[in-house]
Structure 1
Amino acid sequence: MLKKMPGDEPHRIISTTPDTAVVFKPAVVQTPAIITLVIFAARFVTGLFRFAWRHPVVPVVVAVPVMLHVLYGWRVALLLVTPVLVGLVTWGFLDRPTFAHWVGWRLLAFARWFWIYRRHWQPVMTVSRLARHIRGREYLPRLVKVISDAWADRITVKMLDGQAVKDWADRTDNLSHGFGARTCRVSIVSSGRLVLTFPRRDPLETPIPALPIPDTPGVGPVEIGKQEDGTPWFLRLLGTHVLVAGATGAGKGSIIWSAIRGLLPAVRAGLVEIWALDPKLMELSFGRELFGARYAADPGDCADLLDEAVSVMQKRAARFAGLQRSHTPTLDDPFLLVVVDEVAFLTAYQHDRQLRQRISAALATLTTQGRAVGVGVLAALQDPRKEVMNIRNLFPDKIALRLDESEQVDMVLGDGARDRGALADQISPLPAPGAGVGYVRLETTPDPVRVRAAYVSDADIRAMVADCEEAR
């Protein structure tokens, strides 16, 4: 039987040494050199075309001067290239955004790809246990492309067959430290592909002053701050419910008052009504003149105001039944926004059991049936635990500001949010770098987005109230 096996036959099949292993060496087939050269040449040409496709600026910058030098000499090449360089420098000074979009960020992406990611890819993948060794062969996830902008690098990666996104989400710390970034975020692009985001700087490190009140009334998404990529942060209030969770001093008031400022022209026009519940008497009391009779601080009054909101909602539902499935604010049926500051004071910390049940039932009714008839809830709380806020899953859109524990991130934003980069427990407790900074998870996407709300000071609120009183 042994003589029929291919390869080198072992000299000693029977051994008196117990730890001697029997090793069978397979036959070695010699590959002709021409085939090996053809394979290497094909891989080189394919890689060259792939490189030119993904980094088009770099080949042009290198190839054009070289071709001019070979064809016409270095003097002609210098004469033709110098005006181009002067033009590019002038373009960069006169119109920096377009120059960065078409040239600057592409060159930066190539430099980062070559010097940071490509150079460290194999050791980082191996140490992070994202590479696999099977039968002596190493399999690495493929680095598809690198895109750079003003604040971060986004790397598209093709995962190994059989890998899951959770394998990468569990190793964000390994990836961030391996590539010299502070954090790493994982998001899905398509089946088998994901994007790793490595921030190079923090555009949200400085506070944002209060945004100006819009000139025209509107009930669409209101601008309340800025996203990490520098674009405005618009918060949708009509047709949804928003839950804001954060520790003391995290900036919940900034979100609430920025939303009110954005809706103020619509309030003046009669298209929006804001009903305020302020059990702490510390946040919304500054603008109680804005709310008029729709302001409550005593728990009993809060329960009555919520019951009234439920009654308005049910009457609208009875009128809209069979006629419309979505609500458009009008003067007769304005958008009703119920703002609750520190909802836990009413649902969990309320000692009156019957009052607590009334409030919890009213909030549950509003959050389950209010969207279609133009009733929304904007609630804020400090402790997101289930026993404190048992209806948190009824809020489609959630915002996590600075939290005390890492487990609370998933309580607010959903399972796996922290693994995908929502590090709300690591936000600075200092007001300047951390107040108003948080992560948003919308109903339409599972990926959290880092944002910062504009800071609305007491003076801004008083000026807003004074303007409203003058308008009246």
Structure 2
Amino acid sequence: MFKRLPGDEARNLVSTTPDTAIVFRPAVVKTPAIITFIIYIWRFLSALVRATWRHPVAVAVPVALGVAWYWYGWPVAASLSGTVAMALASWAFLDRPSFARLVGYRLLAWWRLVWIYRRHWQPVMIVSGLGRHIRGRDYLPRLGKVTCTSWADMVTVRMLKGQAVKDWADRTDHLAHGFGAKSCRVALSHAGRLTLTFPRSDPLASPLPALPIPDEPTVGPVEIGKDEDGRPWRLKVHGTHVLVAGATGAGKGSIIWSVIRSLLPAADAGLVELWALDPKLMELSYGRALFGSRYAATPEECAGLLDEAVCVMQKRAARFAGLQRSHTPTVVDPFVLVVVDEVAFLTAYQSDRQLRQRISAALATLTTQGRAVGVGVMAALQDPRKEVMNIRNLFPDKIALRLDESEQVDMVLGDGARDRGALADRISPVPELGAGVGYVRLEASPEPVRVRAAYVSDHDIRAMVDAYAQRGEAA
């Protein structure tokens, strides 16, 4: 009935009836010890070559000490190691940034690779579902290089064949808790390769004071805060439109006033005009003198100011037609920035239907045609739902401050932004910790970047009014 195979034998016969299931135990093929020995020697040599290639300094130091010990004895080796240790300590004391960049962070990266990531890699991958255990064999994504910065670990990973970025983005919580980090962000670096970012500390935990007003007029990317990696956060306002979304107390005013503060020298030189729409009569009214006659508070005044901006845009477009395709700010044709504090009050909560449609049409016209002729819009709102702001996709650059729901993150920054680490719904509601903190997604880069805007206090606004209000009144 059954064909007997060489080396197989029947086991665990329960009964002698014809329908009894017979279990076969496969034959065990014994590998010769010499082959096993060769395999282990090959793996050891491969690991040694790979370690020398990846960590030349870490390998060269013990080798040099061993050679000194062999040729000159242990006193010379001990003296040499002490001299090297003193030199490194002096370097760290005299020039800490360069020591950290060239030595400290590399040693930290090697330690965390060995003690954190490689040690826990297999269980985290299997439990999170990113690896597979099939027939006694583990199929795991390959752990690559670990790079440490002052605030985070950057881990490169080669995905398994057939995996997608979304498989990793859906498991960021598993990865963060598995490796002892507060959060994890996933970014595609190359085809089949990812970069996982695990923050070790929060460089944006402390509020930032108002930045100094620039000495030279500029309409280029203006500095308004700091990125998570410590670099200045420069926001492009000329040649684009910016949407800022955040709950009450999230710090929308910090972004608006930081932008205005950076553009004041250019406005004083006649290269920029600041137009303000303040339907709440709270935020922008504090510096009303900076805007002169181009300040509107009531819905009727806001609609009229938007219509005026549309007229300026259309006249410029008629003059630029066939002559130029981009705008360069001049005194004759300055850059016009229309700042709208609570745009939802004008586009969704306005009781007058005709006025609401008029305002929505003007904003849609400006956001679709304005940036080529030097008319930009910066709008702030609390509720990013489409029925509240149905033209949010017309803003190329978007900023998400603290939001109430996780779904709102993708509404503001685009689909999949939260899965890639834009956790705007988890920003602390405590003003000292979370005011002005957010995630920005630019038109040129789909990856969200964590930032914090500088806080412009009432005293700073009064000083700005005292120094620059004369220009606004003259305009």
Q: 1:34 to 1:345 in 2, by over 3 A?
A: same
Give the secondary-structure state (helix, strand or coil) at the position aligned to 2:259. helix
Q: 1:156 to 1:17 in 2, by over 3 A?
A: farther
CA drift at 1:72: 1.7
* Amino acid of the structure 2 residue aligned with 1:466: D
* Amino acid of the structure 1 residue aligned with 2:229: D
What is the aligned partner in structure 1 of residue 465 from structure 2? 465
**Between 35-44 and 263-272, the greater mean CA deviation after superposition:** 35-44
What is the aligned partner in structure 2 of residue 188 from structure 1? 188
What is the aligned partner in structure 1 of residue 73 from structure 2? 73
Q: 1:19 to 1:218 in 2, by over 3 A?
A: farther
Structure 1 residues not aligned, in runs of 5+: none
Is the contact between residue 13 and residue 21 of structure 2 (CA under 8 Å) also seen in structure 1? no
What is the aligned partner in structure 1 of residue 269 from structure 2? 269
Give the secondary-structure state (helix, strand or coil) at the position aligned to 1:446. strand
**Between 70-79 and 416-425, the greater mean CA deviation after superposition:** 70-79
**Between 85-94 and 72-81, the greater mean CA deviation after superposition:** 72-81
- Tell me whether 1:121 sits opposite 2:121 in the alignment: yes
What is the aligned partner in structure 1 of residue 94 from structure 2? 94
- Tell me whether 1:244 sits opposite 2:244 in the alignment: yes
1:408-440 alpha-carbon deviations (Å, 9 max, x no partner): 111111111111111111111111001001111
What is the aligned partner in structure 2 of residue 374 from structure 1? 374
1:47-88 alpha-carbon deviations (Å, 9 max, x no partner): 222223333332233322222212221111122232222111
Is the contact between residue 11 and residue 25 of structure 2 (CA under 8 Å) also seen in structure 1? no
Q: 1:469 to 1:357 in 2, by over 3 A?
A: closer
What is the CA–CA distance in structure 2 between the aligned matches of 1:168 and 1:39, rounded to whole Å? 33
What is the aligned partner in structure 2 of residue 176 from structure 1? 176
- Tell me whether 1:452 sits opposite 2:449 in the alignment: no
What is the aligned partner in structure 2 of residue 143 from structure 1? 143
Q: 1:10 to 1:281 in 2, by over 3 A?
A: same
What is the CA–CA distance in structure 2 between the aligned matches of 1:62 and 1:132, rounded to whole Å? 38
* Amino acid of the structure 2 residue aligned with 1:382: Q
1:275-300 alpha-carbon deviations (Å, 9 max, x no partner): 11100010111111111111111111
Is the contact between residue 106 and residue 147 of structure 2 (CA under 8 Å) also seen in structure 1? yes
Q: 1:2 to 1:322 in 2, by over 3 A?
A: farther
Give the secondary-structure state (helix, strand or coil) at the position aligned to 2:447. coil
CA drift at 1:374: 1.1
What is the CA–CA distance in structure 2 between the aligned matches of 1:17 and 1:140, rounded to whole Å? 45
- Tell me whether 1:255 sits opposite 2:255 in the alignment: yes
Give the secondary-structure state (helix, strand or coil) at the position aligned to 1:447. strand
What is the CA–CA distance in structure 2 between the aligned matches of 1:467 and 1:343, rounded to whole Å? 29
Alignment map for 1:41-56 (pairs within 5 Å)? 41-56=41-56
CA drift at 1:16: 5.8
What is the aligned partner in structure 2 of residue 399 from structure 1? 399
Is the contact between residue 57 and residue 106 of structure 1 (CA under 8 Å) also seen in structure 2? no
Q: 1:394 to 1:5 in 2, by over 3 A?
A: farther
* Amino acid of the structure 1 residue aligned with 2:192: G
What is the CA–CA distance in structure 2 between the aligned matches of 1:100 and 1:373, rounded to whole Å? 47
CA drift at 1:211: 0.3
* Amino acid of the structure 1 residue aligned with 2:404: D
* Amino acid of the structure 1 residue aligned with 2:176: S
What is the aligned partner in structure 2 of residue 290 from structure 1? 290
Is the contact between residue 130 and residue 167 of structure 2 (CA under 8 Å) also seen in structure 1? yes
What is the aligned partner in structure 2 of residue 300 from structure 1? 300
Q: Percent identity?
A: 74
Structure 2 residues not aligned, in runs of 5+: none
Is the contact between residue 187 and residue 420 of structure 1 (CA under 8 Å) also seen in structure 2? yes
* Amino acid of the structure 2 residue aligned with 1:78: A
Q: 1:17 to 1:92 in 2, by over 3 A?
A: farther
CA drift at 1:258: 0.2
What is the CA–CA distance in structure 1 between the aligned matches of 2:225 and 2:20, rounded to whole Å? 71
What is the CA–CA distance in structure 1 between the aligned matches of 2:429 and 2:224, rounded to whole Å? 21
What is the CA–CA distance in structure 2 between the aligned matches of 1:469 and 1:377, rounded to whole Å? 22
What is the CA–CA distance in structure 2 between the aligned matches of 1:6 and 1:446, rounded to whole Å? 61
CA drift at 1:135: 3.5
What is the aligned partner in structure 1 of residue 323 from structure 2? 323
Is the contact between residue 176 and residue 198 of structure 1 (CA under 8 Å) also seen in structure 2? yes
**Between 233-242 and 309-318, the greater mean CA deviation after superposition:** 309-318
CA drift at 1:6: 5.5
**Between 1-10 and 236-245, the greater mean CA deviation after superposition:** 1-10
Give the secondary-structure state (helix, strand or coil) at the position aligned to 2:52. helix
1:320-343 alpha-carbon deviations (Å, 9 max, x no partner): 222222211111111111100010
What is the CA–CA distance in structure 1 between the aligned matches of 2:64 and 2:403, rounded to whole Å? 54
* Amino acid of the structure 2 residue aligned with 1:279: P
- Tell me whether 1:226 sits opposite 2:221 in the alignment: no
Q: 1:318 to 1:7 in 2, by over 3 A?
A: farther
**Between 96-105 and 135-144, the greater mean CA deviation after superposition:** 135-144
What is the CA–CA distance in structure 2 between the aligned matches of 1:470 and 1:335, rounded to whole Å? 19
What is the CA–CA distance in structure 2 between the aligned matches of 1:461 and 1:17, rounded to whole Å? 95
Q: 1:89 to 1:22 in 2, by over 3 A?
A: same
CA drift at 1:470: 6.1
CA drift at 1:133: 2.1
Aligned length: 472
Give the secondary-structure state (helix, strand or coil) at the position aligned to 2:446. coil
1:440-466 alpha-carbon deviations (Å, 9 max, x no partner): 111112211111000001110010010
Q: TM-score, normalised by structure 1?
A: 0.96
Is the contact between residue 244 and residue 381 of structure 1 (CA under 8 Å) also seen in structure 2? yes
What is the aligned partner in structure 2 of residue 427 from structure 1? 427
Q: TM-score, normalised by structure 2?
A: 0.95
* Amino acid of the structure 2 residue aligned with 1:272: V
What is the CA–CA distance in structure 1 between the aligned matches of 2:299 and 2:96, rounded to whole Å? 56
* Amino acid of the structure 2 residue aligned with 1:217: P
CA drift at 1:13: 8.9
CA drift at 1:17: 7.1
Give the secondary-structure state (helix, strand or coil) at the position aligned to 1:287. helix
Q: 1:328 to 1:448 in 2, by over 3 A?
A: same
Give the secondary-structure state (helix, strand or coil) at the position aligned to 1:189. strand
Is the contact between residue 249 and residue 431 of structure 2 (CA under 8 Å) also seen in structure 1? yes
1:328-379 alpha-carbon deviations (Å, 9 max, x no partner): 1111111111100010000000000001001111111111111111111110
CA drift at 1:315: 1.6
What is the CA–CA distance in structure 1 between the aligned matches of 2:318 and 2:215, rounded to whole Å? 35
CA drift at 1:20: 5.7
What is the CA–CA distance in structure 2 between the aligned matches of 1:19 and 1:132, rounded to whole Å? 35
* Amino acid of the structure 1 residue aligned with 2:435: A
CA drift at 1:21: 4.1
What is the CA–CA distance in structure 2 between the aligned matches of 1:12 and 1:111, rounded to whole Å? 51
1:361-404 alpha-carbon deviations (Å, 9 max, x no partner): 11111111111111111100000011101111111111100111
